[in-house]
């Protein structure tokens, strides 16, 4: 299987939508190299995203994220799982939409709340009412996810392999992958 018309695939969506988990599975199935942009930022900086937020603030993190997304959108044969806030920067939205096939993973709010319940690594949720923060993020970010997406997939609690099959089948129906190559 290979992508048709694109050199890379990007996954966008809110935190806990499955971008990393589904991205790894999807990359393997499509023969692409998987890169998580948040993990790449951590690798390059030598510290966690939470540490960057604590020391430098969100704006400095977004600067790092914009540079990283720009560089990743120049690589061929990759599947890039973006951070949930990558779409906040217009330059990222332009690069994603123009330089990759973009899939928006759209989880149910209850799924998101459950998946983040014990998570202590997400700076924007620390010490906050998770449901309220996630609801607010949905209102501000979902129009941006939809602006860049070529395809939107509702994410539920199905196992990763089943969700990956749904994505691949929809991509196939849309003519974005070629099977048997």
Q: What is the pLDDT of residues 27-40, one digit of tens each?
A: 999 999 999 999 99
pLDDT tier at 133, thresholds 50, 70, 90: confident
Whether the CB-CB separation of 112 and 134 falls below 8 Å is answered with yes
**What pLDDT, in 10s, does the model give residues 20-29?**
999 999 999 9
Structural domain count of the chain:
1
Mean of pLDDT over the chain = 89
pTM given for the model: 0.89
Helix (H) or strand (E) holding 8: strand 8-12
Q: At what angle do helices 49-56 and 58-72 cross, to 10 degrees?
A: 130
Residue 123 pLDDT > 60: no
CATH code of the domain covering residue 148: 3.40.50.300
Domain residue limits at 111: 2-178
């Amino acid at each position: 299987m290979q992508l048709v018309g694109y050199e890379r695939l990007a996954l966008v969506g809110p935190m806990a939508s499955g971008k990393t988990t589904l991205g790894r599975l999807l990359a393997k199935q499509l023969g692409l190299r998987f890169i998580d942009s948040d993990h790449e930022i951590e690798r390059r900086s030598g510290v966690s995203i939470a540490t960057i937020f604590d020391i430098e603030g969100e704006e400095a993190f977004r600067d790092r994220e914009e540079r990283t997304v720009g560089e990743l959108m120049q690589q061929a044969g990759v599947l890039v799982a973006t951070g949930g806030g990558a779409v906040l920067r217009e330059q990222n939205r332009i690069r994603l939409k123009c330089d990759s096939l973009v899939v928006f993973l759209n989880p149910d709010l209850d799924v998101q709340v459950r998946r983040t319940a014990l998570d202590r690594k997400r700076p924007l949720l620390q010490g906050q009412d998770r449901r309220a923060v996630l609801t607010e993020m949905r209102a501000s970010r979902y129009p941006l996810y939809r602006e860049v997406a070529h395809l939107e997939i509702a994410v539920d609690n199905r196992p990763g392999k089943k969700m990956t099959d749904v994505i691949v089948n929809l991509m196939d129906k849309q003519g974005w992958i070629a099977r048997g190559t």
